[in-house]
Structure 1
Amino acid sequence: MTYQATQSALETLAIEERRTSNDRRRSQFDRWRKVLLGGLPVVAVDREESAQAMVDHALERRGLWRYPAYITSTNGEVTYRCAVDKTERSLFLEADAIHADGMPHVFVSRLRGAVPLPERVATSDLFYDVAAKAEAAGATMFMLGATEEANDAAVTSVKRRFPNLSIVGHRHGYFQNRDEEAEVCEQIARLEPDILWVSMGVPREQEFIIRNRHRLTSVGVIKTSGGLFDFLSGTKRRAPLWVQNAGLEWLWRVCLEPRRLGWRYIKTNPLALYLLLTKSR
């Protein structure tokens, strides 16, 4: 059977599997306890356990050709967006796990939740944990997203830090049309990466995953990444650690990009805080 025929048959099976048996697709991550924060179910897990589970699960799925696990993250902006847009909320509820990529979520979980979050699981930190474990275990990666320049610089930086990590491919995150998107997905599927990082921003990266999981059944785990590649490449700087720990990284980002982010946070932060305080348990 040709690759195309096999892929077509497996796509049909994957669609049917999703319709009839989501439990099998979620089995690796359903052990994690969840806490409702701002209206979204967030997993109570630390970076170490998250990284280990992602690598282990990806390796276990090699050759199974099922829907890849889909992991994403929430922060203040996501909390706001999911409250005002049911379609975006549904994209997040499709995920196998939602990490807390915001210190306010951690603070509120400890104040109001029966299951306090052990720590913030920021994707910009989690990536390095996963990369180290993937390098040691022989797991492979594909990095999709950002501009071509930022993507190339991010890959170069990662290879410099993890010389034995297998990055089987990478590409910028812009497509001329859906046909090109489908072709890129087929290219990724042929490479069969264990972990696929998608750095396109909310909600574009979530939409991409939901739209294309049936084309990526040779992938083990897909993780949304927001602006990760810009941080990896050095295009943008992370806030000092004390600022991150105080839950003020958003303010640091506003100071660096006031025109782009100022109004966004003025609009989203008050409602996000209200939702965290009223729709958490």
Structure 2
Amino acid sequence: MPDILGINLSAENEKSALKKVEEFLNGSSFHYAVTPNPEIILRAQIDTDFWQILNRADLSLADGFGLKIAGWLSKQKITRITGSDFSLKILKLAAEKNKKVVIINWEKGLSSREEIKAALNKKYPELNFLVINAPRAVNLEPEEQKMLTDFAPEIVFTALGFPYQEKIIFNNKNNWPSVRFAIGVGGTFDFISGRAKRAPKIMRAAGLEWLWRLGKQPKRLGRIYRATFVFMTKILFKKHQ
């Protein structure tokens, strides 16, 4: 199993990872996935709880071109599977297999509950889902928790941003009896709703999505600096230790 700065990554391609999710959904226990990128891995270096949550995941999908470069520098084969693309596959699977889905959406995020509902109803008319607005926290409020358990989903997407979305999943692994699979997906539903636009495919393939995001959201400069220069500095430092 490859690892970057101590964070394990699954040796899966998109097809085999999706097959695992289908196996989880057909099982009787709770499983969760994480989608590490350079920012997430940097945060884990200073957050022990977050580090452990990432390394205990059933699937750890490398989401970020920087991880492919880090793998090349450390002579590890790393397959990039973006959380946004993988989420679309899971939603399609849920619609086809009649699995109920809950999306825990950050209440102050770009997309409103209504925008997400409208987009999903249009894209996946057969999907049985519920969108719950929630604050960025490591647990749900009692009312939100009741909404989720009453709906009894098999799949939960948390769209709160790291580390909240991963911590809320881990903290509730014994509190969501119907759930078979959960995953933190950041701004994925902003792309689905149309409130945010992804970089063109050619830029994503070339690892230049960060440049696209900087052009669209200059306030992200600090985050992009950490995800590129700070992250690669740490990788190179470790390589030469």
Please give the range of the TM-score, normalised by the shorter of the 2 chains.
0.7 to 0.9
In 1, the alpha carbon distance for the partners of 2:226 and 2:69 equals: 21
TM-score (norm 1): 0.76
Distance 1:182 1:95, change over 3 A: farther
In 2, the alpha carbon distance for the partners of 1:263 and 1:111 equals: 24
Instruction: Kindly indicate whether the alpha-carbon contact (under 8 Å) linking 2:137 and 2:164 is maintained by their aligned counterparts in 1.
Output: no
In 2, the alpha carbon distance for the partners of 1:85 and 1:271 equals: 17
Instruction: Kindly indicate whether the alpha-carbon contact (under 8 Å) linking 1:197 and 1:224 is maintained by their aligned counterparts in 2.
Output: yes
Aligned position for 1:138 = 98
Aligned position for 1:199 = 159
* Superposition deviation, residue 279 in structure 1: 5.1
Task: Give 5+ residue unaligned stretches, structure 1.
Answer: 1-33
Aligned position for 2:135 = 174
Task: Show the 5 A alignment for 1:148-159.
Answer: 149-159=111-121
Instruction: Kindly indicate whether the alpha-carbon contact (under 8 Å) linking 2:35 and 2:62 is maintained by their aligned counterparts in 1.
Output: yes
Please state if 1:218 is matched with 2:185: no
Task: Show the 5 A alignment for 1:33-44.
Answer: 34-44=1-11
In 2, the alpha carbon distance for the partners of 1:216 and 1:113 equals: 39
Q: Could you tell me which of 218, 230, 234 is aligned with 1:271?
A: 230
Letter in 2 for 1:173: A
Task: Give 5+ residue unaligned stretches, structure 2.
Answer: none
Task: Show the 5 A alignment for 1:1-281.
Answer: 34-61=1-28, 66=29, 68-114=30-76, 116-117=77-78, 119-147=79-107, 149-167=111-129, 169-174=130-135, 181-259=141-219, 261-277=220-236
Greater helix content: 1
Larger radius of gyration: 1
Aligned sequence identity (%): 22
Instruction: Kindly indicate whether the alpha-carbon contact (under 8 Å) linking 1:201 and 1:225 is maintained by their aligned counterparts in 2.
Output: yes
Instruction: Kindly indicate whether the alpha-carbon contact (under 8 Å) linking 1:36 and 1:279 is maintained by their aligned counterparts in 2.
Output: no
Instruction: Kindly indicate whether the alpha-carbon contact (under 8 Å) linking 1:144 and 1:171 is maintained by their aligned counterparts in 2.
Output: yes
